[in-house]
Chains A and B, each alone.
Chain A
Amino acid sequence: QQQVKQSPQSLIVQKGGISIINCAYENTAFDYFPWYQQFPGKGPALLIAIRPDVSEKKEGRFTISFNKSAKQFSLHIMDSQPGDSATYFCAAEFGRKLTFGTGTRLTIIP
C-alpha cells in the first residue's frame, strides 16, 4: 500500500521558470514532511521540511505549501536553474520512520 503519492513522475522546466511537484498522503498520523534532492550517484540530501501546523515554509528559492485538510503538500522551486536538475522525493514521517514518494525527475533546460 503506497501511502505517499507523488506527481509528476518527470518534469521539464525552462530555466528561470517555476517547478512544482505535488504529493498526497493518506495517513493522518504523519507529522513531518521533508523533501529530498538526489543527484545521480549520490545519496538523497535533505532540502526542506515542514510540520502540519504550518501552511507554508520558504527557504531561498524553495517553498513547501501544505494543505492539511486536503492531505497534500507541494514543492515549488522558483527561478529554476540547470543545477536544480535532479530527482526529488517527498516523504512523510511518523514514529521516526520515513515513507517516501515515488520521485520526480526534474530537468531544467536552458
Chain B
Amino acid sequence: SAVISQKPSRDICQRGTSLTIQCQVDSQVTMMFWYRQQPGQSLTLIATANQGSEATYESGFVIDKFPISRPNLTFSTLTVSNMSPEDSSIYLCSVEGRVWETQYFGPGTRLLVL
C-alpha cells in the first residue's frame, strides 16, 4: 500500500479564514480522493482529484468552498474556504491502490474552527 502523509495534522482556525491541507503520496497514483469525517461520524466523499483535470465534486460540495489542486501524480491540496464552526471535521485524503477499487487513507487533518 502507498504511504500517505498530510499536513497539517491538526489546526485551530478562526471563522472566515481559509486553510489549505496538503496530501503527499510516496508513489505515483492516478486517482486521489478527499473525504470529510465529522466528529464521531462516517466518511463522506468531497471530491475526486485526477491529475491534469478539474476535480469532480459530490453533491453538497462546491468548488468555491473546497477548491482542490492536483499538480502532479503524488500531490494534492484541499482548501477549506471561509470557514465556519460547521467545518470542524477530520479531512482525509485517499489514493487508489494497484487494485483500483481499493483506497488507502492518509492520517487525516483535524480541523477546529472557532
Task: Please give the number of chain A residues whose Cβ is less than 8 angstroms from any Cβ of chain B in the complex.
Answer: 21
Q: Report A-chain residues with C-beta under 8 Å of the C-beta of B78.
A: none
| CB atoms of B42 and A89 under 8 A apart | yes
| CB atoms of B92 and A49 under 8 A apart | no
Q: Report B-chain residues with C-beta under 8 Å of the C-beta of A32.
A: 101-102
Taking a contact as CB atoms closer than 8 A, the residue among B43, B44, B48, B110 that contacts A44 in the complex is B43
| CB atoms of B42 and A96 under 8 A apart | no
Taking a contact as CB atoms closer than 8 A, the residue among B92, B96, B105, B106 that contacts A96 in the complex is B96
Task: Please give the number of chain B residues whose Cβ is less than 8 angstroms from any Cβ of chain A in the complex.
Answer: 23
A-B contact count (CB 8 A): 50
Interface residues of B, dominant DSSP: strand
Interface check A42, CB cutoff 8 A: yes
| CB atoms of A46 and B42 under 8 A apart | no
Give A77-103 interface residues, CB cut-off 8 Å to B.
Answer: 89, 93, 96-103
Q: How far is A70 from B104 in the complex, measured between Cα atoms in Å? A: 28
| CB atoms of A46 and B45 under 8 A apart | no
Q: How far is A108 from B101 in the complex, measured between Cα atoms in Å? A: 30
Q: Min CB distance, B53 to chain A, in Å?
A: 14
Q: How far is A46 from B102 in the complex, measured between Cα atoms in Å? A: 8
Which of A32, A34, A96 has the most chain B CB within a 10 Å cutoff?
A96
| CB atoms of A102 and B42 under 8 A apart | yes
Q: How far is A101 from B33 in the complex, measured between Cα atoms in Å? A: 17
Lowest 5 A-B CB distances belong to which pairs?
Answer: A43-B105, A32-B101, A100-B42, A100-B43, A43-B107
